[in-house]
Amino acid sequence: DVKVTQSSRYLVKRTGEKVFLECVQDMDHENMFWYRQDPGLGLRLIYFSYDVKMKEKGDIPEGYSVSREKKERFSLILESASTNQTSMYLCASSLWAGGPVEDTGELFFGEGSRLTVL
């Protein structure tokens, strides 16, 4: 089974701190994604990456950056955390969209990281 592992389930940080959220997948997927989930707003895409060192902005990239130095690892960085970044953060991976028939286009999600910024 595909496994997407997020480094921390719960974090509490203070305003202005730098925060790293790590995500690792073990199925050699090309695509990786970072979402945040807030009540009433559904899942919103922050950034995605379709290859090592490649990244593209999603719908809400402001205040975030990402790093993908290795294929299996995709990190989300909050340079200076703010209270409005308190949220559930979800990492996901998928096979390359233009791949063979067995590429279902489905996303595999991690368990989520609940970040509280005080």
Partner 1 sequence: DAKTTQPPSMDCAEGRAANLPCNHSTISGNEYVYWYRQIHSQGPQYIIHGLKNNETNEMASLIITEDRKSSTLILPHATLRDTAVYYCIVLIWGSARQLTFGSGTQLTVLP
Cβ-proximal residues to 93 (8 Å cutoff; 6+ apart), any chain: 2, 4, 25, 27, 29, 31, 32, 33, 74, 107, 108
First-to-final CA distance of the chain = 37
CA distance 62 to 87: 15
> For partner 1, which residue of 11, 58, 71, 116 counts as binding (CB under 8 A)?
58
Site for partner 1 in 30-49 (CB under 8 A): 31, 33, 37, 40, 42-45, 48
Q: In angstroms, what is the minimal distance from the CB of 62 to partner 1?
A: 18
Residue 68's Cβ-count burial label (10 Å; 0-12, 13-18, 19+) is: buried
CB of 90 vs partner 1, minimal distance in Å: 5
107 lines the binding site for partner 1 (CB under 8 A): yes
Asked if 25 is part of the footprint of partner 1 (rule: CB under 8 A), the reply reads no
Binding residue (CB under 8 A) for partner 1 from 76, 81, 90, 117: 90
The residue from 63, 72, 108, 116 that contacts partner 1 (CB under 8 A) is 108
Please count the residues of this chain forming the interface with partner 1, following the rule CB under 8 A: 28
